[in-house]
Structure 1
Amino acid sequence: MPSSWFALLRRRRLSLTVLACLLLLLPIGCAKLEQTERELVFRIEPGTAHWFRGLPAGIEDVQLQSPELGADESLHAWWWPAARQDAPALLYLHGSRWNLTGQLFRIEQLHAMGFAVLAVDYRGFGQSRGALPSERSVYQDALIAWQHLTRLQPEADKRFIYGHSLGGAVAVHLAHELAGEDEAAQAAGLIVESSFTNLGDVAAAVTNTSLPVRWLLSQEFDSLSKIADVGIPVLIAHGRDDRYVPSRFSEALFEAASEPKQLLLIEGANHNNGLRMAGNSYRQALQALGLEIN
């Protein structure tokens, strides 16, 4: 056998060995990559938000129960009944980073509009125990919270889903899932504020790159492919001065959504103060959808 064949065989064996090593290491590398991705997506701030000054009177601490929760997991929520017993109830789904203590100002504004509010911390946030969240786990947590809300407000035409930022994607997914259920499980309306089309789009916008970063993402949060089929009226709101998530994403969501729908672009509002800046426009947009709060 010529020496060149031996050299070729040695190179081929070396290549096969390297390939085998890569295949063995790939799951470990992918697992680490996914963990890092989830850490960056959720960016959990531990403890209490520094601007939190305590709960207003009337808010109840609730521990949600579900067979889906493990022995070392829990799901903590706030329930804030409205002044009227027959008031509509809203499930509040927050975005990344801040737990419920960082969300109170927005919850207060929704409650002042006339909603009874159930606000939930996903596992791993705030007082909810659990491992690092994932797209799958936050979807599951939202469904558990929704099932609790249906017991608090049994009338489907008085139940709403609200999601802010990343929570908007969770809200769209929940509404999409409920669309396939019986009427008793469904919602009257969906409110999505300061959100995006999918995680790949917003990641590319934040990093200001044309590279296909979505290929590296295991978490999709793809609202764009779901919002047309939620089967309920949709209000999409966004501040025009949002520096984190451009309002063009909400415009794209609106275009993809089915009627009835309303788009509320709020002049001068940023990522977090849309409710306050919109004033009565929020209520008017809901009324235009035929959704009465009072």
Structure 2
Amino acid sequence: MPLSWLALLRRRRLSLIILACLLALLPIGCAKLEQTERELVFRIEPGTARWFNGLPAGLEDVQLQSPELTAEESLHAWWWPASRQDAPTLLYLHGSRWNLTGQLFRIEQLHAMGFSVLAVDYRGFGQSRGALPSERSVYQDAAIAWQHLARLQPEPGKRFIYGHSLGGAVAVNLAHELASEHSSAQAGGLIVESSFTNLGDIAAAVTHTSLPVRWLLSQDFDSLGKIGAVGVPVLIAHGRDDRYVPSRFSEELFAAASEPKQLLLIDGANHNNGLRMAGANYRQALQTLGLLPN
């Protein structure tokens, strides 16, 4: 028996009420989804890494200042000058999970190569105060650290950007922004290690799914779309035995990058020990690109 006009009107009104409720709840759901996504992306481990045994001689604690930081925020960094006053200077941008105390072994290796190193903890990591990081906030933190590094090293050709894992995406973005905002080169080169093309690609790889998970992501970290326009020499390094981030992502980044560029795929290296396992090959690749003096 057909519904009366009154019944149809009541049903339509109920549907509109339900739709209005869903639309009202959608921002709350999206906000919660974004927070969960950021928690999974950054996976912050509080406190000191268990393998940290204290700061080496000559390494200094630094608090970076910027009008972009609120009274409740701070940006903590390490500054480790090389023995040579004219040494190249490198901004170290770490990946997810571990703060600077978990990065010291890699910072030591870069310093031993002859770099002065400025390493920064993003807000929310280590001694840097702030809320849960986002793609936007870590990009901003890298830019603040770069401004400080530029004061420490006034020669653009001796400034370098290094990023490991997620920090590689932060490094690519910083190099891209510098190239976009300035008519002359502000850095001498870019080093990206154990990183990926974009967050959607790595999310699909980690979850072993062909579903379009990128549609659910609010953070992009799109290195693939930026690396071709960074305007500086690029070294891309990756361990062939990386179980977390497949080395094929670095091959894709290398293909998208402009010359001059070098790809260093390291046999037997995993996600974290590429610099050590590569040994002299890493130094040679840096020297070939002019990122490190002979």
Do Structure 1 and Structure 2 share a fold, with TM-score over 0.5? yes
Equivalent residue pairs, number: 293
In 2: Cα distance, 1:83 partner to 1:232 partner? 26
In the TM superposition, what are the counterparts of 1:143-154 in structure 2 within 5 Å?
Answer: 143-154=143-154
* Corresponding residue for residue 290 of structure 2: 290
Contact 1:156 1:184 in 2 (8 A): no
C-alpha distance after superposition, 1:65-114 (max 9, x if no partner): 00000010000000000010000000000000000000000000000000
In 1: Cα distance, 2:44 partner to 2:280 partner? 32
* Corresponding residue for residue 200 of structure 2: 200
In 2: Cα distance, 1:216 partner to 1:256 partner? 25
Q: How far apart are 1:185 and its partner, in Å? A: 6.7
In the TM superposition, what are the counterparts of 1:175-254 in structure 2 within 5 Å?
Answer: 175-182=175-182, 186-254=186-254
Structure 1: gaps (5+ residues): none
Contact 1:64 1:77 in 2 (8 A): yes
Kindly indicate whether residue 164 of structure 2 is the aligned counterpart of residue 164 of structure 1.
Answer: yes
Contact 2:185 2:232 in 1 (8 A): no
Kindly indicate whether residue 101 of structure 2 is the aligned counterpart of residue 101 of structure 1.
Answer: yes
* Corresponding residue for residue 130 of structure 1: 130
In 1: Cα distance, 2:88 partner to 2:136 partner? 28
Q: How far apart are 1:183 and its partner, in Å? A: 5.9
* Corresponding residue for residue 81 of structure 1: 81
TM-score (norm 2): 0.98
In 1: Cα distance, 2:292 partner to 2:277 partner? 21
Q: How far apart are 1:55 and its partner, in Å? A: 0.4
* Corresponding residue for residue 263 of structure 2: 263
1:126 alignment partner, SS class: coil
In 2: Cα distance, 1:268 partner to 1:206 partner? 21
Q: How far apart are 1:182 and its partner, in Å? A: 3.1
2:180 alignment partner, SS class: coil
1:39 alignment partner, SS class: helix
Q: How far apart are 1:13 and its partner, in Å? A: 1.0
* Corresponding residue for residue 111 of structure 2: 111
In 1: Cα distance, 2:138 partner to 2:45 partner? 16
RMSD: 1.1
